[in-house]
Amino acid sequence: MVGDLDRVWLVGALLALGDALKQHGYFDHAPELELLRHLRNGVAHGNSFRIDNPKELTKFPAHNRLAWVKSDSKAVFEITPSLQNQPVLFDFMGPGDILDLLMSVGLYLVRMGNGDPLRP
């Protein structure tokens, strides 16, 4: 049970935040918002990526390169068509990486709401 706690908590956070962002059309489709969208969809569909429209990644890239919060290793995560059917948690991103993304999305949205610069 303890081993599943991270998974349950993070899946719930990804689903709740992804659903809230969807209600607002993912705002400006910033790369970190799009990354969260793909993670949300992956955990909602059996914990594997479904890249139904690979060309959409050209229009709306999904990565954390510009994110406000990154791990000490500065790991970059990007959604590419090659991830089709690959596991989301905890193969693509670990628990700490997902928490970094959640914090980055929160900071991005607060800055957007305040009219502050959106990039570090």
pLDDT > 70: what percent of the chain? 98
H/E/C letters for each residue in 60-108? CCCECCCCCCCCCCCCCCECCHHHCCCECECCCECHHHHHHHHHHHHHH
pLDDT of 1 above 60: no
Over residues 42-75, the pLDDT tens digits come to 999 999 999 999 999 999 999 999 999 999 999 9
Residues 6+ apart with CB under 8 A from 52: none
pLDDT, average across residues 81-88: 97
Q: Which two three-digit tokens encode residue 11? A: 């899946």
Beta bridge partners of 68: none
pLDDT digits (tens, 9 = 90+) for 103-115: 999 999 999 999 9
Instruction: Please tell me which residue, 20 or 4, carries the higher pLDDT value.
Output: 20
